[in-house]
Structure 1
Amino acid sequence: MTKTLTILFLFITLFSIAQSEKENTIEINGIVYSSVNNKPLSDVIVSFDSRSRGASTNENGEFKYVYNLRSGDRIEKIETIAMGYKLLDTIINVNSGKNINLNIILKPHLGINRQQALDHIEIGKINLLLSGGIAPVVYQSDEKFSKKYNLNFVEFGCEAVAEESLYEYNKTIFEYLDKKYGKKWRKEIRKDIIGLKK
């Protein structure tokens, strides 16, 4: 009988602890988007400042984190980090409910997007962007092409720039070149320009 009561007491204690822990947790989830094209971003790190932990986004830009509340917890700083994007800090109140849903929008590093391309077209500073490695790749035909179509090739080397930023920028320049010169420039340009094949 004593053994049964001891087991029953342990079960009730463990159940109470589990219920207490569940009551002291909140679920923080959300989706991280790119401001470049408004599409979800995968492989983004979402870290919680006071926990030295975090989550990462899946292929749909979604993340989920179970946050264990401690006494005195009130606000939390969330850092969102993605290659080619500016780091974003978000402050949340962890006492605002059991579920916190966030939509986080990241801006591109260096401000590279469609609007920047339009601004460059307006001032006559036409660039085509390349994503390169440590040493830039330059072809003999680049200088001739640049002079003929009044533009520059810009390679970022080791600088982290999101491919979707390069794509949106170049796509806008392609539209400008098509309008101004027709499609003939497409046969003359180097083939490693981001977005040319799409």
Structure 2
Amino acid sequence: MKKIIYISILFYSILSFGQVIVVSGNVTDAKTGEPLAGAKVLINKTQNGITTDFDGKYSLKTTLNDTLVFSHVGMIMQKVKVDKTEINIELEEEEEIEVVFGPAYYPKPKRLEATTTVSKKDIENAENPKYNFKKNAKNNVFLIFVSELTSYDLNKVDLEFEQKYNVKYSLIGSYKNDYLKKYNKLTFKYLKKKYKKTWLTEIRKDAVGLKKE
């Protein structure tokens, strides 16, 4: 009888180990409690997985005792062994570090807020310059996209201009030219209204759309 019980337990364990289940849950920001859209949920050592929806939710078919890897830009990765059908995860922000170059140091740039909590409205308006300008303006952030800027191009005059007029020069990145012109036009309008015409003689000449201003 004992032998039969032992074999039954062993057989059940083998079946359980490879049992296919659906795991679901929420991924949130540990600091704010906000849902994290676009977080990756992968089965460990594979590329099989899914990303969370706008509400930070996910649902993934896997097997018991697999390990799930949860990650998001700017967050510390977490690994969790699958032992139940609902797994909720809170991801914490990575600590910012200082990178030292010779006698001087340069702090690591802060990641954009958009890389933490992205709303459905933000994604829908990703290519809408007016929407993005207004959102940045609410946080007192004003950008000027320039065509020739690299990370080493800002000189003393540029930095003084940024400080004087409360703006930041920005790389054009992967934005389309039409987007850049429309966004800069809104920034130019802000500068004209607040500082009249003095900024025109001090701005970088490679600011996108400047000639039409």
Would the TM-score normalized by the shorter structure come out above 0.5?
no
TM-score, length of structure 1 as denominator length: 0.40
Where relative contact order (Cα < 8 A, 6+ residues apart) is larger, the structure is 1
TM-score, length of structure 2 as denominator length: 0.38
